[in-house]
């Protein structure tokens, strides 16, 4: 089995500054890809920032919106598998989601199952785990608080 270089990106996402955050994420993902990463993972709500405020209702996007499109196009352009988390409208409800995009355009969507504390005021819970069958192998997605629930990781 070949070695796999994975990059976990940390960035200071400014609340509500989607274009600024996407610009910074572009720089960081390009840097990771330039250093050989084939899987790049961005932080929760990287494009919108994170705050407990009613602004969350306005920041929630359709999956085909600015951030979802950016994730898919960036994965394709850089030839990487890219994971980004965003507040998304799915079936008419706001969720915190993680989108995994492959370089060939395939993508998978995970809805955060265990929204924590005040997130419950803004976001619906997902109900299903996700394991994506990718060219890199099987990739399971979790977001933040999901990690403490062993049944979901299994």
Residues noted as catalytic: 44, 112, 144
Give the residue among 97, 124, 118 at the shortest CA–CA distance from 53.
118
Question: How many CB atoms sit inside 10 A of residue 138's CB?
Answer: 8
Quick one: which H or E segment has residue 153? helix 150-153
Spell 5-43 as b/e; 16+ CB within 10 A means b.
eebebeeebeeeebeebbebbeebbeebbeeebbbbbbb
* Residue 68, SS3 per DSSP: helix
Q: How far from chain centre, in Å, is Cα 132?
A: 14
Q: Report the alpha-carbon distance of residue 5 to residue 147 in Å, rounded.
A: 22
């Amino acid at each position: 089995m070949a070695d796999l270089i994975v990059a976990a990106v940390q960035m200071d996402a400014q609340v509500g500054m989607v274009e600024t955050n996407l610009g910074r994420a572009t720089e960081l993902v390009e840097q990771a890809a330039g250093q050989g990463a084939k899987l790049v993972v961005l932080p929760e709500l990287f494009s919108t920032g994170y705050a407990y405020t009613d602004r969350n209702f306005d920041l929630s996007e359709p999956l085909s919106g600015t951030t979802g499109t950016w994730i898919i196009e960036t994965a394709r352009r850089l030839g990487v598998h890219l994971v980004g988390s965003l507040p998304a409208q799915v079936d008419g409800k706001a969720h915190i989601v993680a989108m995994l995009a492959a370089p060939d355009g395939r993508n998978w969507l995970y809805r955060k199952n265990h929204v924590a504390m005040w997130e419950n005021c803004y976001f619906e819970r997902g109900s299903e785990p996700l394991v994506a069958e990718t060219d890199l192998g099987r990739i399971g997605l979790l977001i933040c608080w999901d990690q403490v629930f062993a049944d979901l990781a299994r």
